[in-house]
C-alpha cells in the first residue's frame, strides 16, 4: 500500500508541512515518527523468489455474517479458527521473464515474488481467489500453491489498484473439497478483539504460518501506492493489528475468533523502535471489490466529485466559520452533478445518508459501498446554515491508475489526520501528491 522512509535514507518520508498542498498528502503514519525514527510502509510481498510457498485454510461462502462472540478461551478459539480457514488459504507465486544469466541473451520465467491468497467463491467451473494487486502486479505468469506443494496455473481475472486487490481463478476440480472463506461484517469489528493472520511469510519454507494478536484500530487511513512507480493512487481505510504480518503475508486473511475473515492483509509499518503495526483491507470492501472483479473483470468506484480534507486537521487559516469541529471540508467541487446539487467550496460535510461523517475515512468507506449513478443525501454546514443536499454519484477516473497519474481528479481521498511527527523534524509522504479528489 504505502512506502515510507526518512531523509537519512534519501527516500520517502511522512510528516506535516506548512503549505496546504504538502500538508494534504500527510497520513496517519507521521504521528508515529519520533526523533530520528525511520518509518517504512511496506507491502507484504516476499520478492526473494527463492522458495515458492503456499498456505491454505478452510472457510464457507462469501456472504458476510454478523460477528458473534463465542464462549471459548482465546487459545481454543484460535486453534478452531485456524482449522476452519486454513484449507482455503493458498500461496500465490508471481513469475516474470528474467535473463537466465549475465552472459545469456535469453530470458525465461523465474519466480520473483510470493504472496498469499484466499479462496472466497467457487462455481461449477472455477474457484476464485482474492489476493493483493501488488502480489500479481507485472506478472507474466501466476501460479497458486495448494497444500504447500501443488502448483496450479492461475488466471488473473482482474485487478484494482485503487484498493490493492486482485482476483485469480483456477479450475474448480482443484478445490472441490475446500469450502470458500466466510467473511465477517467488518463494520462490527471491535478494538481489542482477537486477530489471527495466516500466510506464507518468507516463502515456501514457512507456508501456513499463523500469528495472533488483537485489533489495534478498526479504521486507519493509509495510502494505496502503485507498486512500480510508488505514486499514491488512493487513500484507503484499513484495519490495524499487532498480529505479526511479514513479507509473503500479502493477500492472506485476518480472522476473528470464529474463523471469519475480517480483512485481507496488505502492509505493515517498519520503523526503528516500533513494531506490531500491520494493516488489512476490511472484509466489506474486499467482498464488494472481489465480486465486481469476478463478474466483470474490473471494479467501478463511485466519485462524489470534490477535493476535501478532514476539518479537524485544517490549518487555522483555512478553518471555516461553522459550529462543528468534525466533518469533511470541501476545497473544490469538480463534478457538475455535485455543483448542480448545490455543493460549494468551503462547505463542511457532516453526514451522508443518515451516517455521521467525522472525516475522510467515514466518507470514503461509505461511498465505496455505493455505485456510480446512485444518489446520496449529504448533511452540510455552510457557515452556521445547516443544509440537506441530494447528489448523484459519478464514476472514478481509472485512467489515473493505469497511467501512474496521481494528480487530482481521480477520486483520491487524502486523510489529513496526522501529528507533527515528533521532535526529530518532519517527515512526509513521497511522492507528494496534490490535493486529491473524489473524481470528476
Active site residue 134: yes
Is residue 70 a contact partner of residue 33, using CB atoms and an 8 Å limit? Answer: no
Active site residue 386: no
End-to-end CA distance of the chain: give it in Å, rounded. 24
Catalytic entry in 54, 55, 134, 338:
134
Catalytic entry in 30, 55, 62, 164:
164
Q: Do you know the residue count of the chain?
A: 440
Catalytic entry in 250, 338, 409, 427:
250
Rg, the chain, Cα only: 21
Q: Which residues are catalytic?
A: 134, 164, 250
Amino acid at each position: 500500500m504505502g512506502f515510507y522512509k526518512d531523509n537519512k535514507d534519501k527516500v520517502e518520508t511522512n510528516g506535516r508541512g506548512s503549505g496546504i498542498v504538502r500538508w494534504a498528502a500527510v497520513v496517519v503514519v507521521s504521528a508515529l515518527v519520533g526523533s530520528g525514527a525511520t518509518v517504512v510502509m511496506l507491502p507484504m510481498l516476499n520478492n526473494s523468489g527463492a522458495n515458492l510457498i503456499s498456505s491454505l485454510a478452510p472457510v464457507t461462502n462469501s456472504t458476510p455474517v454478523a460477528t458473534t462472540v463465542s464462549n471459548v478461551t482465546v487459545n481454543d478459539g484460535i486453534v478452531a479458527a485456524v482449522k476452519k480457514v486454513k484449507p482455503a488459504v493458498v500461496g500465490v507465486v508471481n513469475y516474470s521473464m528474467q535473463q537466465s544469466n549475465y552472459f545469456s541473451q535469453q530470458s525465461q520465467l523465474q519466480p520473483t515474488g510470493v504472496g498469499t491468497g484466499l479462496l472466497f467463491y467457487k462455481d461449477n467451473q472455477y474457484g476464485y481467489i482474492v489476493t493483493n494487486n501488488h502480489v500479481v502486479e507485472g506478472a507474466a505468469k501466476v501460479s497458486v500453491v495448494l497444500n504447500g506443494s501443488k502448483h496450479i496455473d492461475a488466471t488473473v481475472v482482474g485487478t484494482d489498484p485503487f484498493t490493492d486487490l486482485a482476483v485469480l481463478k483456477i479450475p474448480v476440480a482443484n478445490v472441490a473439497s475446500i469450502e470458500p472463506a466466510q467473511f465477517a461484517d467488518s463494520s462490527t469489528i471491535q478494538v481489542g478483539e482477537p486477530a489471527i493472520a495466516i500466510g506464507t511469510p518468507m516463502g515456501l519454507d514457512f507456508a501456513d504460518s499463523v500469528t495472533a494478536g488483537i485489533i489495534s484500530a478498526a479504521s486507519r487511513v493509509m495510502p494505496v501506492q502503485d507498486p512500480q512507480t510508488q505514486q499514491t493512487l488512493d487513500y484507503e481505510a484499513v484495519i490495524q493489528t499487532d498480529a505479526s504480518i511479514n513479507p509473503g503475508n500479502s493477500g492472506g486473511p485476518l480472522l476473528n475468533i470464529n474463523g471469519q475473515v475480517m480483512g485481507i492483509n496488505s502492509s505493515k509499518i517498519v520503523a526503528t523502535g516500533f513494531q506490531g503495526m500491520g494493516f488489512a483491507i476490511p472484509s466489506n470492501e474486499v467482498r464488494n471489490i472481489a465480486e465486481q472483479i469476478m463478474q466483470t473483470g474490473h471494479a467501478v468506484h463511485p466519485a462524489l466529485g470534490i477535493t476535501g480534507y478532514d476539518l479537524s486537521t485544517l490549518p487555522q487559516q483555512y478553518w471555516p466559520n461553522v459550529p462543528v469541529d468534525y466533518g469533511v471540508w470541501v476545497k473544490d467541487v469538480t463534478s457538475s452533478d455535485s455543483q448542480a446539487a448545490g455543493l460549494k467550496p468551503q462547505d463542511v460535510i457532516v453526514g451522508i445518508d443518515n451516517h455521521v461523517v467525522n472525516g475522510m475515512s467515514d466518507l470514503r468507506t461509505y461511498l465505496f459501498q455505493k455505485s456510480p449513478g446512485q444518489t446520496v443525501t449529504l448533511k452540510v454546514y455552510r457557515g452556521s446554515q445547516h443544509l440537506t443536499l441530494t447528489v448523484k454519484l459519478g464514476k472514478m477516473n481509472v485512467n489515473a491508475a493505469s497511467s501512474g497519474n496521481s494528480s487530482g481528479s481521480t477520486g483520491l481521498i487524502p486523510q489529513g489526520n496526522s501529528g507533527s511527527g515528533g521532535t526529530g523534524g518532519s517527515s512526509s509522504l513521497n511522492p507528494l501528491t496534490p490535493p486529491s479528489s473524489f473524481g470528476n
